[in-house]
Amino acid sequence: MTITPRSQMNRRTVLASMGSVLALTLAGCATTAPTPPEVPVPPPASKHPDHALLMYRAMPEEAFPIPAADLSRLDPRYIREVVEYPSHEEPGTVVVDTANRYLYHIQPGGMATRYGVGIGRSGFEWSGRAHIAYKREWPVWTPPSDMIKRQPQLEKWRHGQPPGIDNPLGARALYIHKGNVDTLYRIHGTAEAWTIGKAVSSGCVRLLHQDVIHLHDNVRSGSSIVVLTDTATSGLV
């Protein structure tokens, strides 16, 4: 683990304050991810620690039952865990390290809960500082007009796709605003374990259903979110 020098942390703060205006017209979250690659072969589930089976268990108690995550398609580095994470950010802040495909929920004492994430593909990246305006369980997904133009088959969902296991936002969504403006970006759930650690979405940050439920239950509305893009300023490398 590398502790970021103060000079780098100051640089990170500057970078984090630079939002992408153009990106706000592109966001919306992907309806489906690209076809899973054939290679490299994902690690077998046996390489994951035993406690991961419990963390990523089936959740039949949910409004829409969630199957167990397919850990055979999840790189072990992206299993949720509590790690050391020196940061100048206040406890409760969410930090998205896009370079390393991690989301950190800052805790007191230099610690953080770390989650593996999928991020926006080329042309849909974004960075900056904002806040989590509110949260929803089993949200309705409404594709932006720009997304419908790119994907006309989404016209049927112009007024919203009902919640459910096939809804692109999944089991939970955290809605990101900058000031009083909805950025159209979300942190949301997915069942596609193979996409964690990849750049596949239309700008949104995706976590496994089990992880986004855990994050949803522990993050307060109004919390700050910082999205980083520079490896040298990500805090951990």
Positions annotated as catalytic residues are 188, 204
Q: 183 and 177 in contact (C-beta within 8 Å)?
A: yes
* Cα atoms in the 13 Å half-sphere on the side-chain side of 154: 22
Residue type present at position 58: A
The Cα diameter of the chain in Å comes to 50
Give CA–CA dist 66/225, Å, rounded.
Answer: 27
Closest-CA residue to 98 (of 210, 12, 213): 12
What totals of helices (H) and strands (E) does the chain contain, helices first? Answer: 4, 11
Q: 111 and 85 in contact (C-beta within 8 Å)?
A: yes
Q: Running DSSP on this structure, what letter comes out for residue 108?
A: G
Q: 20 and 176 in contact (C-beta within 8 Å)?
A: no
Closest-CA residue to 12 (of 81, 77, 96, 91): 96
Q: Which residues pair with 149 in a beta bridge?
A: none
